[in-house]
């Protein structure tokens, strides 16, 4: 009797899990593959990680940026709402760098997010919070030297300081 009950519970549970996975797939079905990759990013990575290895996550970020003319603002906002903590930071970088949002409407949306995030720059891996990263981008246009790509060609090498809007 107990094994039959357990079998029914497992069947219901696995059916529910399948429904959740299918729902997420439907929500993401019309999104570019690079945004789906970013939505599942396990860590916030610089372009180069490890011993000169290129970050696949950063490559997806570059692809999403390079296609920002064809990717809708709503898709970046979807990533900002539905991404992992790292995915949300990439979304803010995309919104801001593509010119589809100012600091308040990109990084500002994350300034109170205390989610822990793993960061990798080169060989170094450490933890921080989404809030601290977002506030760093707002204040100086970068986070520990990681800058967002920017469509505005007038931006200096120091970052986006001349193009930032106040909160």
pTM for the structure as a whole: 0.76
* C-alpha triplet 141, 109, 94: angle, nearest 5°: 55
Those residues with Cβ within 8 angstroms of residue 133's Cβ, 6 or more apart along the chain or in another chain: 44, 89, 110, 117, 119, 143
Residue 15 clears pLDDT 50, i.e. is over it:
yes
Of 3-12, 65-74, 104-113, 143-152, give the lowest mean pLDDT range: 3-12
Q: Give the model confidence (pLDDT) of 104-130 as tens digits.
A: 999 999 999 999 999 999 999 999 999
Residue 130, C-beta contacts closer than 8 angstroms, at least 6 positions apart: 85, 88, 89, 110, 113, 114, 115, 117
Sequence ranges of the domains in the chain: 1-30, 32-163
Question: What is the rounded average pLDDT for all residues in the chain?
Answer: 83
Close Cβ partners of 101 (under 8 Å, ≥ 6 residues apart): 73, 76, 95
pLDDT, tens only, 35-71: 999 999 999 999 999 888 999 999 999 999 999 999 9
Whether residue 24 is predicted with pLDDT greater than 70 in this model: the reply is no
């Amino acid at each position: 009797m107990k094994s039959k009950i357990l079998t029914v519970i497992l069947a219901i549970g696995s059916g529910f899990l399948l429904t959740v996975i299918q729902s997420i797939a439907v929500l993401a079905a019309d999104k570019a593959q690079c945004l789906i990759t970013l939505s599942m990013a396990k860590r916030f990575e610089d372009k180069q990680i490890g011993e000169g290895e290129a970050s696949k996550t950063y490559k997806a970020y570059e692809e999403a940026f390079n296609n920002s003319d064809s990717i809708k603002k709503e898709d970046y906002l979807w990533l900002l709402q539905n991404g992992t903590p790292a995915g949300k930071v990439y979304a803010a970088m995309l919104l801001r760098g593509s010119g589809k949002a100012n600091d308040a409407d990109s990084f500002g949306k994350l300034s109170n997010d205390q989610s822990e995030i793993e960061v990798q720059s080169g060989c170094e891996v450490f933890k921080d919070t989404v809030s601290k990263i977002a506030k760093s981008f707002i204040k100086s246009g970068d986070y520990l030297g990681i800058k967002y790509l920017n469509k505005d060609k007038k931006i200096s090498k120091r970052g986006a300081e001349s193009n930032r809007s106040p909160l």
